[in-house]
Structure 1
Amino acid sequence: MSEKYKANNPDKIYFVTFAVVQWVDAFTRREYKDILVDSLQYCQKEKGLIIYAWCIMTNHLHLALGTDGKLPLADIMRDFKKFTSVSLVRAIQENSQESRKEWLLSLFQTAAAGSAKHQKYQFWQSQYHPVELTSNGQQQRCLEYIHQNPVVAGIVNTAEAFLYSSATDYAGGKGLIEITFME
């Protein structure tokens, strides 16, 4: 991996995106999105993850984040992806209401077959490419991009109306995940 895509400085803010393999719309059910929310909250409390902004879309997750230095960001992201991958596949397997169960599991199984590090299922695409946000301008553009994703996708009319995003916090409300505001 190039040095350009490594989160080497724990004092900096990074923009990352996690995408589901083949950009499949896996986050169409609340219980799947809640697994991500719970996992992010755990990483905040137990691993030192600092979240500045976030948004869960139907097939990807955007984050502006950093660490308190307790653990390297790469380790936190690795653990997050591994845990959520297993949890989400299990949730899909156990969901009697999931009409796309066989198709989703087949897709994740096919993705794993082409990977040396995944055994049975691969949920997430392999990379997350952290991009360091080195200026206030970059941070503000990133914040706007993250929060406008559901508006551009036609899910909501205003960013702060989207439950699975930090836009509510930046509009003065209380969202699902505790955030640290960008200055």
Structure 2
Amino acid sequence: MEENGYKINDQTKAHFITATVIDWVDVFSRKKYRDIVIDSLNFCIHNKGMILYGFVIMSNHIHLIVQSNDGKLSDLIRDFKKFTAKSILIAIENNPESRRDWMLKRFEFACKSHSRNEKYQFWQYGNHPEEIYTEKFLWQKLDYIHLNPVRAGIVEKASHYLYSSANNYVDGKGLLEIEKVSNPVIDVLDSKLFTNSLSW
């Protein structure tokens, strides 16, 4: 899996992954589509060897810090994106959706330049993978993920946003069972990031 210099070299290591909807279409402004992603992640955790350290679902993209227990991270991400794309497209086509025609036209147009698509392209190609190589880098990415909804003005505190793993780290529970990493210590993050973490 390679794109613009980014590649998953070690399939056994945890990576920061971004999956973005074609043309940044705000599909996940609807709960039913966010729930499809949650259900798919839950299935991957319990049946496909996914180890999930953190996540957030924004209106048109998702971030994951993820690892494969089977050492096949590229295959795991590929299958996850393929299944979620198919499931969301079926939901768009078969459920009440005021934006149906507009969205489907965008997805249909996007796939015309790629022969591997049958009719629609939902996710952009590539995942911009970044290997998690230190504990400090892991916590930088977790902070980035969890503060996304705060920066977007959706919530005041990261733990108030349901569709992320922030609450797993604050209260020990969330929508998904994640692999919760140890709490950061003062020398892992700089003081600003550490303050942000404690202020959730």
TM-score by length of 2: 0.86
Structure 1 residue aligned with 2:160: 161
The one-letter amino acid paired with 1:133 is I
After TM superposition, the structure 1 = structure 2 runs for residues 121-132 of structure 1, keeping only pairs within 5 Å, are 121-132=120-131
SS of the residue corresponding to residue 28 of structure 2 reads coil
Flag the 1:118–1:9 CA change in 2: closer, same or farther, 3 A: same
Identity %, equivalent residues: 45
Cα drift, residue 3 of structure 1: 9.8
Task: State how far apart, in whole Å, the 1-side matches of 2:156 and 2:3 are.
Answer: 38
Runs of 4+ in 1 over 6 A off after TM superposition: none
Query: Against the structure 1 CA distance between its residues 168 and 91, is the aligned structure 2 distance closer, same or farther, given a 3 Å change threshold?
Result: same
Equivalent in the alignment of 1:143? 142
Q: Does the C-alpha gap of structure 1 residues 135 and 3 become closer, same or farther in structure 2, counting only changes over 3 Å? A: farther
CA distance in 1, matches of 2:46, 2:6: 25
Other-structure match for 1:72: 72
Structure 2: which 5+ runs fail to align? Answer: 183-200
Moved more, 5-14 or 165-174: 5-14
* Pair member with larger Rg: 2
User: CA distance change for structure 1 residues 162 and 2 in 2, over 3 Å: closer, same or farther?
Assistant: closer
Aligned to 2:42: 41
Equivalent residues of 1:24, 1:59 under 8 A apart: yes
Once residues 43 and 120 of structure 1 are traced to their aligned partners in structure 2, the CA distance between those partners, rounded to angstroms, is 26
Secondary structure at 1:27's aligned position in 2? helix
SS at match of 1:171: helix
- Post-superposition shift, 1:12? 2.0
Secondary structure of 1:61's match? Answer: strand
Q: Give yes or no for contact 1:108–1:123 (8 Å, CA) kept in 2.
A: yes
Shift of the alpha carbon at 1:116?
1.8
Match of 1:181 in 2: 180
**One-letter code aligned to 1:93:** E
Residue 89 of structure 1 aligns with which residue?
89
Pairwise CA RMSD: 1.4
Deviation at 1:166, TM superposition (A): 0.2
Residue 119 of structure 1 is matched in structure 2 by: 118
Q: How far does the alpha carbon of each residue in 1:10-31 deviate from its partner, in whole angstroms, 9 at most, with x for none?
A: 4422100000001110101111
8 Å Cα contact 1:4-1:131 kept in structure 2? no
Which is worse superposed, 147-156 or 128-137?
128-137
**Residues 18 and 127 in structure 1, CA contact (< 8 A), matched pair in contact too:** yes
What do residues 38-81 of structure 1 show as CA deviations (whole Å, max 9, x unaligned)?
00111111110100000000000000010112x50100111111
Question: What displacement does 1:34 show?
Answer: 0.4
Cα deviation, residue 115, structure 1: 1.1
Cα 1:138–1:122 change in 2 (3 A) is same
Q: Distance in 2 between matches of 1:156 and 1:42?
A: 28
1:118 and 1:2, CA in 2 relative to 1: closer, same or farther beyond 3 A?
Answer: closer
